[in-house]
């Protein structure tokens, strides 16, 4: 199996998570797509895994609505491990290669607000609350089609969010969204002369959170990566993303108005191929520093991803 097909196993990591849909945090997890995004993969089953850590904060003068609370100043830390069982079809579909996956994560999320301006039950002026949530995320089914010709590959995908994760209205920390979402988009990968470039863009539609009467607007997102191969096993380069909310939030719970959010990020990345029985596996490490954030907390996050061929 050549390195392009091995790396494509890791590209099936179109998992998503959000700590809570309110507060300017999106259904799409920015940066979840990177190298080899549109390359066709090896037919059969694979098990991509991804560990995600994020640490973000905002100034005490910035207000957010989260869990039905109006708060000032947020700090958040997340540690999540994603499991993404994936099946890639051998027979062509519409001239391309089809794949199906179902992502789920388990982990912990911690959030602190410098003050609660208005609580979900009407209380006010509470200082320094910290919440923690542990458990499972929502479910994220994904279907994709990939086409390859020469040095270029293209992809189309659609992904959904099924709200079954840990969630409790009134809390600052939630792992599940408590509402459904759907996301769709396209990707492109160019690979030649020891260099690789990938970009994935999409748009998200969110349904309303019935417990808080908050409905996120339509979101757009772009993830990209560039790397150079220093050997057949090792590559390194840069990664980044842009998240931009296209339409405002709505519903009676959106007391801050449309509250459109945006953020950008850049950082380094490295990937390595290694033997696993008769096959090869892949591991990568990526880091992102966020900047120019609006109506959301910002900071840094890291992804440690691995793809394990199951040989089935």
pLDDT at 266: 98
Structural domain including 208 reads: 3-309
Please state, rounded to an integer, the average pLDDT across all residues of the chain: 88
Count of other CB atoms within 10 angstroms of residue 75: 17
- Residues 31, 36: Cα–Cα separation, whole Å: 13
Summarize the confidence of residues 19-46 as an average pLDDT. 80
Contacts of 304 (CB under 8 A, 6+ apart): 50, 51, 283, 284, 285
pLDDT at 307: 85
Q: Which of 5-19, 76-90, 250-264 has the lowest mean pLDDT?
A: 5-19
Dihedral sign, Cα of residue 242, residue 168, residue 205, residue 253 = negative
- For residue 5, pLDDT over 70 is answered with no
Coil vs helix vs strand at 3: helix
User: Over the Cα atoms of the chain, what is R_g?
Assistant: 19
Summarize the confidence of residues 7-36 as an average pLDDT. 63
pLDDT at 208: 95
Summarize the confidence of residues 42-52 as an average pLDDT. 90
- Residues 24, 56: Cα–Cα separation, whole Å: 12
**Residue 205, domain CATH:** 2.40.160.40
pLDDT at 62: 87
- Residues 240, 242: Cα–Cα separation, whole Å: 7
- For residue 65, pLDDT over 70 is answered with yes
pTM passes above 0.95: no
- For residue 184, pLDDT over 50 is answered with yes
pLDDT at 3: 44
Count how many domains the chain has: 1
Summarize the confidence of residues 89-112 as an average pLDDT. 95
- Residues 235, 98: Cα–Cα separation, whole Å: 27
Summarize the confidence of residues 74-93 as an average pLDDT. 94
pLDDT at 23: 60
- For residue 56, pLDDT over 50 is answered with yes
- For residue 16, pLDDT over 90 is answered with no
171: nearest Cα among 74, 240, 262, 41: 74
38: nearest Cα among 183, 197, 184: 197
Helix or strand run (H / E) with residue 73: strand 69-83
What confidence tier does 285 reach under pLDDT thresholds 50, 70, 90? very high
12 or 187: which leads in pLDDT: 187
Count of other CB atoms within 10 angstroms of residue 189: 27
- For residue 106, pLDDT over 90 is answered with yes
């Amino acid at each position: 199996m050549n390195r392009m097909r091995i790396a494509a196993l890791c590209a099936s990591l179109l998992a998503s998570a959000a700590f809570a849909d309110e507060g300017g945090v999106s259904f799409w997890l920015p940066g979840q797509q990177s190298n080899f995004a549109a390359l066709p993969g090896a037919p059969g089953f694979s098990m991509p895994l991804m560990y995600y850590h994020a640490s973000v904060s905002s100034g005490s003068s910035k207000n957010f609505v989260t869990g039905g609370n109006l708060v000032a100043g947020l700090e958040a830390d997340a540690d999540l491990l994603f499991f993404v069982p994936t099946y890639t079809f051998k027979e062509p579909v519409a001239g391309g290669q089809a794949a199906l996956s179902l992502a789920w994560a388990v982990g912990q999320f911690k959030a602190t607000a410098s003050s609660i301006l208005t609580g979900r039950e009407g209380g006010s002026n509470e200082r320094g609350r910290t919440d923690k949530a542990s458990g499972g995320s929502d479910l994220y089914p994904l279907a994709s089609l990939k086409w390859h010709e020469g040095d270029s590959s293209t992809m189309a995908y659609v992904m959904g969010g099924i709200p079954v994760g840990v969630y409790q209205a009134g809390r600052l920390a939630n792992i599940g969204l408590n509402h459904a979402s759907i996301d769709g988009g396209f990707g492109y990968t160019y690979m030649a002369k020891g260099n690789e470039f990938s970009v994935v863009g999409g748009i998200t539609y969110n349904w309303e959170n019935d417990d808080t009467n908050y409905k996120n607007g339509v979101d757009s997102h772009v993830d990209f990566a560039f790397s150079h191969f220093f050997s057949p096993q090792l590559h390194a380069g840069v990664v980044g993303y842009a998240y931009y909310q296209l339409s405002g939030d709505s519903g009676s719970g959106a007391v801050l108005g449309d509250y459109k959010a945006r953020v950008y990020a850049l950082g380094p990345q490295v990937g390595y191929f290694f033997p696993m029985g008769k096959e090869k596996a892949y591991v990568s490490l990526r880091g992102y520093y966020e900047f120019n954030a609006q109506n959301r907390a910002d900071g840094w996050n890291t992804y440690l991803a691995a793809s394990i061929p199951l040989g089935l």
